Amino acid sequence: MADQQLWYVENIDLKHVFCPQKMGMGMLDKKDHLSFDTNQYIYLPEEPARKIFLINEGRVKIGTYGADGKEVTKAILTPGEVFGELALISDASRRDFAFSLENTSLCVLEKEDLSIMLRERSELQLFFMRLIGNRTLKLEQRLENLMFKTSRSRITEFLHTLAETRGRAVGYEREVRNMLTHKEIADLTGTSRQTVNAVLNDLRRQNILTFDRKRMLVRDMEQLATA
């Protein structure tokens, strides 16, 4: 099951944790609710890691910069997902950046406030342990894929995982709404936009899936897994 769905598994309503004032819970005296326009940095490397974020609306790219200054995309997150969680396990500065890909609104929780909640609620401890662990495993898997798999295999595997984790069943098919751009898929698979375009068009010719700017419809998950 996808790591972005863990709060449902643990029966945790994160909006009540991150946005108690907004949700009428009154758990904390003061809350931050931030809004960002498209293409704005939420935080940058070397900034103090003091806040954890929950996405209300919009999409956020998490990335870092290599020694050569090249940008590396780690994840693209959507509403309901948490980021900045490594602030909980380190007092050091941020090592990555967060960037709004579209108009985005966030609930923000101070590290100190969340630390108090973690001591009081074991289900929150479990959620963040699994969140951090699953994201670490995903990054390790991406590194292995870069080393041992072809560009096509990385793209088809990514699309299959995307359909499984963010898609919804439509009869025997799976639909992914708010589809990623070809460049975003390329960034997340370590390929080029041209290669992504070629693979998607080939899968469409085989009638394995269809796509446009707004959605992807996978007609045959089994075929996609072996394409």
Provide mean pLDDT across the span 192-200.
97
79-107 residue pLDDT tens: 989 999 988 887 789 999 999 999 999 98
Both tokens of residue 162?
């995307």
Q: Is domain 3-148 classified as CATH 2.60.120.10?
A: yes
Which of 9-23, 133-147, 208-222 bottoms out in mean pLDDT, i.e. has the lowest?
9-23
Provide mean pLDDT across the span 129-138.
87
Same fold flag, 3-148 and 151-226: yes
Provide mean pLDDT across the span 150-171.
94
The pLDDT assigned to 21 comes to 54
The pLDDT assigned to 38 comes to 96
Percent of the chain with pLDDT over 90: 55
Provide mean pLDDT across the span 176-204.
95
The pLDDT assigned to 167 comes to 93
* Kind of pairing between the strands at 60-65 and 71-77: antiparallel
- What DSSP state is assigned to residue 59? -
Domain residue extents for the chain: 3-148, 151-226
DSSP code per residue over 74-127: EEEE-TT-EE-GGGGT--SB-SSEEEESSSEEEEEEEHHHHHHHHHH-HHHHHH
Q: Would you say residue 57 has pLDDT above 80?
A: yes
Q: The domain 151-226: what is its CATH number?
A: 2.60.120.10
Helix, strand, coil fractions of the chain, as percent rounded to 5: 40, 25, 30
CB 43 within 8 A of CB 97: yes
The pLDDT assigned to 20 comes to 64
CA atoms of 203 and 32, how far apart (whole Å): 44
Q: State the amino acid at position 9 in one-letter form.
A: V
The pLDDT assigned to 223 comes to 95
Tell me, yes or no, if the pTM score tops 0.85.
Answer: no
CA atoms of 84 and 188, how far apart (whole Å): 19
